């Protein structure tokens, strides 16, 4: 068990001498499977649990008869949505300590140590590299990404499904826009470090612009120190060492701000989750714990202003009916649905919360070998949204939004864009 400064317990310990022992992993997997097969509350959450239950049923409930492939398949299919944390009654601090996502991560880490990974997969997961190479050629990239012969080549060489909707490439980075347009407030009520994320920096600049408008309207002084990807994409292949390098770089650049009273605000739940819950597990340092304790998901941060009577409610525009998709990683943060509360403050605006997984994850909704499974996971969400026909569809997660757009043909906004529009931005 690992404890991150009282914030959250997980069954994940990189200092355990048996962490990379495959036999010990299988023993732990069987222990977890013994509990899961008798409970089955997670059967509808993701492909992992149906794979486990089908294998168990095939062998008359006897785990000892499962093949190595059948034992490993549920761990291979886990895409770290963390939904099982919400419903499973046996997650830490329960004495049984069931932690399926981290068990899957351990399995993938052992597999990576033994086999490595496809070099192309490692490049795809290196969002800093891909972003820096793509932004100067954004117009070409955005055009060619929608040309079928190009997509066929991408599928054959990179394993990216031809049907997948790839995130757009910004014409300029968020950091460039920030340096050109950010104006410090004259009387700031708080000071914060913005962990702007790869997605805003390279792919979704409009969401970044909306964020800056909101921070300006609320007199928040912001700095953006040197930072890189949060490192969570490397979890897909179990490359723990690369995740640790990313984490260490970011903690080293954030710790001085934390010690000087800055908050750390993060506009994407997945990245907030990585900094807050995973960095202390990866680094096992006091600095990582100190950073994690000052990390705030942006909706949670803005709502805290409201609790202190500091949130600007001078909204100029109403929005109408909103279908607000709750990202799984926002639920995992355990901070509540503060963005929904903020949007409900907008006059003549109604918010309907939709708590259904989109199925996208990082590469799960992009790679050819998992694309159809991702669609199957997300189908109840897509059907739900199509049935309601709201004025606006909103999601905290840009990648989930991208996947919803692909499967509903509805444009998806972030809560930041909604609030910015309401302010008149």
Q: Which element (helix H / strand E) includes 265?
A: strand 263-266
Q: Which CATH number fits domain 312-423: 3.40.50, 3.40.720, 1.20.1250, 3.30.70?
A: 3.40.50
pLDDT tens digit sequence for 384-407: 999 998 999 999 999 999 999 999
Other Cβ atoms less than 10 A from the Cβ of 28: the count is 18
pLDDT tens digit sequence for 80-137: 888 888 888 888 888 999 999 999 999 999 999 999 988 888 889 999 999 999 999 9
pLDDT tens digit sequence for 332-379: 998 999 999 999 999 999 999 999 999 998 889 999 999 999 999 999
Q: Where in the chain is the domain with CATH 3.40.50?
A: 312-423
| Spatial distance between the Cα atoms of 177 and 182, rounded to a whole number of angstroms | 8
pTM over 0.85: yes
Residue 41 pLDDT class (50, 70, 90 cuts): confident
Share of the chain above pLDDT 90, in %: 84
Q: Would you list the DSSP string of 164-185?
A: --PPP--SS-HHHHHHHH----
pLDDT tens digit sequence for 256-304: 999 999 999 999 999 999 999 999 999 999 999 999 999 999 999 999 9
CA distances from residue 178 to 69, 223, 413, 415 in whole angstroms, order as listed: 49, 10, 21, 20
Residue 5 pLDDT class (50, 70, 90 cuts): very low
| Spatial distance between the Cα atoms of 171 and 169, rounded to a whole number of angstroms | 7
Residue 1 pLDDT class (50, 70, 90 cuts): very low
Half-sphere exposure in the Cβ direction for 420 (13 Å, CA): 17
Residue 8 pLDDT class (50, 70, 90 cuts): low
Smallest CA-to-CA distance from 386 within 417, 413, 361, 354 is with 354
Handedness of CA 197, 202, 207, 212 (dihedral sign): positive
- CA dihedral defined by 62, 20, 374, 169, rounded to 10 degrees? 180
Query: What are the E-state strand segments in 303-419?
Result: 320-325, 349-354, 392-395, 412-413
Residue 166 pLDDT class (50, 70, 90 cuts): very high
Would the pLDDT of 2 be above 80? Answer: no
């Amino acid at each position: 068990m690992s404890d991150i400064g009282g914030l959250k317990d997980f069954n994940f310990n990189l200092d355990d001498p048996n962490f990379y022992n495959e036999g010990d992993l299988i023993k732990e997997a069987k222990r977890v499977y013994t509990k899961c097969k008798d409970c089955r509350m997670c059967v509808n959450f993701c492909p992992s649990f149906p794979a486990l239950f089908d294998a168990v049923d095939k062998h008359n409930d006897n785990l000892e008869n499962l093949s190595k492939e059948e034992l490993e398949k549920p761990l291979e299919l886990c895409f770290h949505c963390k939904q099982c944390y919400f419903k499973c009654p046996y997650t830490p601090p329960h004495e049984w300590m069931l932690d399926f996502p981290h068990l899957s991560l351990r399995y993938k880490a052992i597999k990576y140590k033994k086999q490595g990974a496809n070099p192309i997969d490692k490049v795809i997961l290196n969002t800093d590299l891909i972003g820096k190479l793509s932004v100067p050629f954004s117009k070409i990239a955005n055009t060619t990404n929608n040309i079928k012969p190009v997509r066929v080549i991408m599928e054959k060489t990179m394993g990216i499904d031809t049907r997948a909707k790839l995130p757009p490439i910004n014409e300029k980075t968020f950091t460039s826009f920030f340096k050109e347009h950010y104006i410090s407030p004259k009387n700031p009520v708080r000071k914060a470090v913005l962990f702007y994320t790869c997605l805003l920096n390279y792919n979704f600049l409009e969401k970044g612009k909306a964020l800056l408008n909101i921070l300006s309207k609320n007199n928040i002084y912001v700095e953006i120190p040197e930072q890189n990807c949060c490192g969570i994409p490397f979890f897909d292949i179990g490359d723990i060492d690369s995740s640790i390098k990313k984490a260490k770089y970011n903690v080293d650049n954030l710790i001085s701000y934390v010690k000087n009273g800055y908050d750390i605000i993060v506009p994407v739940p997945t990245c907030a989750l990585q900094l807050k819950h995973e960095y202390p597990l990866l680094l096992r340092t006091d600095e990582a714990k100190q950073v994690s304790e000052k990390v705030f998901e942006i909706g949670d941060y803005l709502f805290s202003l409201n609790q202190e009577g500091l949130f600007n409610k001078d909204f100029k525009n109403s929005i109408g009916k909103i279908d607000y998709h709750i990202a799984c990683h926002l639920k995992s943060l355990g901070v509540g649905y503060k963005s929904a509360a903020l949007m409900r403050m907008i006059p003549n605006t109604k918010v309907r919360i939709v708590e259904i997984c989109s199925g996208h994850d990082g590469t799960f909704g992009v790679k050819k070998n998992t694309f159809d499974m991702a669609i199957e996971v997300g189908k109840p969400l897509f059907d739900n949204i199509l049935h309601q026909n709201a004025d606006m569809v909103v999601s905290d997660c840009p990648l989930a939004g991208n996947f919803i757009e692909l499967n509903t043909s509805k444009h998806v906004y972030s809560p930041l864009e909604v609030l910015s529009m309401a302010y008149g931005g």
